[in-house]
Structure 1
Amino acid sequence: MFDWFVKMVMACWRPVKRYRKRQDGTDRQDPLLWSKDLCPHAVGEFSYAVVQANAILEDMSQVESGSFGTFVGIYDGHGGPEASRCINESLFSFVQKNTADQGGMSCDVLCKAFKEVEDKFFEIVRKAWDVKPQIAAVGSCCLVGAIWDSKLYVASLGDSRAVLGSFSRDTSLPVARQISTEHNASIEAIREELFAKHEDDPQIVVLKHGVWRVKGIIQISRSIGDFYLKRAEFNRPPLIARFRLPEPLKRPVISAEPECNVITLGPDDEFVIFASDGLWEHLSSKEAVDIVYSQPRAGIARRLIKAALQKAATKREMRYSDLKGIERGIRRHFHDDITVVVLYLDTKLLNKGGSISNHVSVKCANDMPKGDNPSR
């Protein structure tokens, strides 16, 4: 049975290096949008899509699947792609190692992997500081979902979001349930958390140009990287002035500690939407779930992104067709990089467990070789 699954996945994703080319998933009307309509994973099917807005794509993502279940990662970088790339290249291997050490999946497995990837990126920053000090201001949100023995483990830091779409037997309507925690200073509970942790600093959160920011600089309160806000040795020249705090950094003002939730999946749970905050800036959780519930599976991630882009265009009083013609870099003034993975669940397969060491990699398009990057 597993051999059949391996063949199916490999056939669906071969050859990996071609996924960013037009004939293998790029939208012909929008050269910055590419996707894969539908592929199998251990407990169902999934669809993904990516749209680029920045001059260099900072979103990274991955789907890993096999007899153990399924692993999804959404890594929304900022300040540059180095942190999200580091996470994309190493986080799952840490999860594999920790799962083997502990004999199964747990929140501790995921949280430990987050710490290990934070430590790994710190070493990259430390070694590069003298020649590339700006790397100290590079960071990434990190959202992970792992299905193991009919349970879904969701660990997150930053403001990417996972939403569970379920069927209500009472109303016969879809129900949207946010199952990840967002760490963004625009949320009152996050501001209260920051003030409680930094009682001696009334400027820990500042309203700047109508936006709440930690120290008036960054919106998220947790991330991988951003060491200029975690370690005093990086909050000094030659880092450019706009990233430096006016007072010495006595302790970290943001953290890399994720929050983890565990959901026991049941027969009414139909799919999970994992997406970077660029999607949620334009669509609510309910709107996204309603779209997934009412539309065909194939290409659903692409439809979600197009719905968000349509709203982005409308907000700027322009046509969607005009937005599609705007180049990367300039496009960032209208919307962010957006990555979406929609994971459909087959309850008949949920109880089949296994070893995470026996897996098939089904990485998403924004993890392809640089030579096939449409931004280059």
Structure 2
Amino acid sequence: MAFCSSPQLQKFLLNKIYCNYDCNRTTKRKIVVKGGEKRRFCCSAIAIDAPSSLASVGEIKWGSVKLKGAREEMEDDVVIIQSDGVDGFVYAAVFDGHAGFTSVKFLREELYKECVAALQGGKLLKGKDFKVIRKSLEEAFENADAKLIKCLEANGEEDESGSTATAVFVQDNMLFISHVGDSCVALSRSGKTEVLTNSHRPYGSKKASLEEIRRIREAGGWIVDGRICGDISVSRAFGDIRFKTKKNEMVEKGLQEGRWSEKFASRIQFNGDLVTACPDVFQIALGSDTEFILLASDGLWDYVKSSDAVNFIRNHLKQHGDIQMASEALAQLALNQRSQDNISIIIADLGRTDWQNLPTQKQNIAYELGQALATISVVSLGIWISTFLS
């Protein structure tokens, strides 16, 4: 799908985007942070106020956007950190919160610190021992979760917030992903889409989903309509103490609310946490054919297919070459697809593609025609059946 080429029309179409461009700051450690609590509602002036693209690191250019969408509260956040302390790697993360913003706020500040400490200031990323890197990132996520749980329990009030987190460390030729939840990372290799992560959700027939279901049941939990204990639809997340340190209290509360019977409650025996912050960790080589990396929350992926998102970004960059505008346009596309969730997007253009001189991919006319004919056939059949029955 090509985006409209008129800048004035783009500014009009990209109105009502919820973002945070006023949060860039530089410290003595030369850390540039994209993200934060400050948020403002950008109207039609967004394309004027926004930088053409976030600060580049070498050849890499970054774009990001947060969109409140149809939700009453904004519980997503995005962070991009450039630091000499990570040995040339850039850290970027998307957080998708639920039941409040407390967990997201904590992770935005603390998860990066835990990762840097576990990775020995980033030195381990330069090494070639992936087992050591994976163990370090798992340790960082679990340490951050343990600290968050203490924070939630110390609040003194009932705070059941939680958050998914998908974090990446990017350098010119290497990408490391540490992933918990249902956000997703994809990339484009010469226009071909590669999805790099699996959603941690306890439903469906995919291998990752079946593994989550088995783990939850072995821990003493149960699944109702794709939700753990009929409550939460994501099986790996930070926080969510009712499924970790407060499981028995959760059962008692459900009993009081009439969600289950005393007989059912008496049979429950927990053997572990129902929700875990243990991440999937991946290492991906970024060859010369890698064009860009796309990291986004499920507010995008539940409404826009990964291949459509990649093609949309490529077409936008071929027209304008601006990664920030491409991020905003993709968020607007999710809204146009009637996304009912918060939408957070980070895109890293690796700077290897001459977008203006990139040939436009030809559309598969036969495929599009086949899809159209199939739709017409189904509609016609429905009309015939309705007429016959009447």
Output the TM-score relative to the length of structure 1.
0.70
Against the structure 1 CA distance between its residues 16 and 238, is the aligned structure 2 distance closer, same or farther, given a 3 Å change threshold?
closer
Given the superposition, is the C-alpha separation of residues 260 and 127 from structure 1 closer, same or farther in structure 2, using an over 3 Å criterion? same
The offset of 1:78, in angstroms, is 0.3
- Corresponding residue for residue 57 of structure 2: 42
Superposed CA deviations along residues 246-270 of structure 1, whole A, max 9, x for unmatched, are 6346132221111011101110001
Matched, 1:305 2:294: no
Assess, with a 3 A threshold, how the Cα gap between structure 1 residues 198 and 140 changes in structure 2: closer, same or farther: closer
Q: What is the Cα deviation at residue 242 of structure 1?
A: 6.2
Larger deviation: 98-107 or 241-250? Answer: 241-250
Q: Any idea what the Cα deviations from partners look like across 1:10-55, whole Å, max 9, x if unmatched?
A: 9xx8999998456xxx23289xxx9654123324101111111333
Asked whether the 8 Å contact 1:275–1:338 carries over to 2, the reply is yes
Q: Which of the two has higher C-alpha Rg? A: 2
2:153 counterpart (126, 144, 161): 126
Q: Tell me if structure 1 keeps the 8 A contact 2:201–2:212.
A: no
Q: What is aligned with 1:218?
A: 232
Distance (whole Å) between structure 2 residues aligned to residue 19 and residue 200 of structure 1: 42
- Larger relative contact order (CA 8 Å, sep ≥ 6): 1
Read off the aligned partner of 1:90 and give its amino acid letter: E
Match of residue 72 from structure 2: 55
Q: What is the alpha-carbon distance in structure 2 between the residues aligned to residue 239 and residue 35 of structure 1? A: 47
Q: Secondary structure at the match of 2:145?
A: helix
Shift in CA distance, 244/114, structure 1 to aligned 2, threshold 3 Å: farther
> Structure 1: where are the runs of 5+ without partners?
1-5, 168-173, 313-333, 349-376
Structure with the higher fraction of residues in helix conformation? 2
- Classify the secondary structure of the residue corresponding to 1:116: helix
CA separation of 1:19 and 1:165: change in aligned 2, threshold 3 A: farther
Correspondences of 1:223-234 after superposition (within 5 Å): 223-231=237-245, 232=247, 234=249
Q: Which residue of 2 aligns with 1:86?
A: 106
Q: In the alignment, is residue 342 of structure 1 matched against residue 347 of structure 2?
A: yes
| Structure 2 equivalent of residue 181 of structure 1 | 198
Q: 1:213 offset after TM fit, Å?
A: 1.6
Taking the TM superposition and a 5 Å limit, the aligned residue runs for 1:133-172 are 133=158, 135=159, 137-148=160-171, 150-167=173-190
Residue-by-residue CA offset, 1:47-102 (whole Å, 9 max, x unaligned): 11111133332101100114512111100000000111111011111122222267
Residue 264 of structure 1 aligns with an amino acid whose one-letter code is A
What TM-score comes out, normalization by structure 2 length? 0.68
Against the structure 1 CA distance between its residues 40 and 123, is the aligned structure 2 distance closer, same or farther, given a 3 Å change threshold?
Answer: same
Say which is worse superposed, 152-161 or 46-55, in terms of deviation: 46-55
- What 5-or-longer segments of structure 2 have no aligned partner? 1-24, 126-132, 354-390
Structure-1 separation of matches of 2:55 and 2:104 = 25
Identity %: 19
Greater Cα shift, 290-299 or 245-254 = 245-254
Q: Which amino acid aligns with 1:97?
A: A
Q: Is the 8 A contact 1:206 1:215 kept in 2?
A: yes
103-112 or 292-301, larger mean C-alpha shift? 103-112
Counterparts in 2 of 1:219 and 1:243: CA distance versus 1, 3 Å: farther
Q: Please identify, of 58-67 and 154-163, the stretch whose mean Cα deviation from structure 2 is larger.
A: 58-67
Which of 51, 76, 82 pairs up with 2:96? 76
Q: Are 1:96 and 2:116 counterparts?
A: yes
Q: Which amino acid aligns with 1:286?
A: S
Change (3 A) 1:192 1:149: same
Superposed displacement of residue 244, structure 1: 7.7
* 270 and 213 in structure 1: CA distance in 2 versus 1, 3 angstrom threshold: same
Q: Is the 8 A contact 1:183 1:220 kept in 2?
A: yes
Query: Aligned-pair RMSD on alpha carbons?
Result: 3.5
Query: Does the residue aligned with 1:262 lie in a helix, a strand or coil?
Result: strand
User: In structure 1, what is the Cα distance between the partners aligned to 2:308 and 2:74?
Assistant: 26
Task: Report the Cα distance in structure 2 between the residues aligned to 1:111 and 1:243, rounded to whole angstroms.
Answer: 38
Distance 1:234 1:65, change over 3 A: farther
State the partner residue of 1:264. Answer: 285
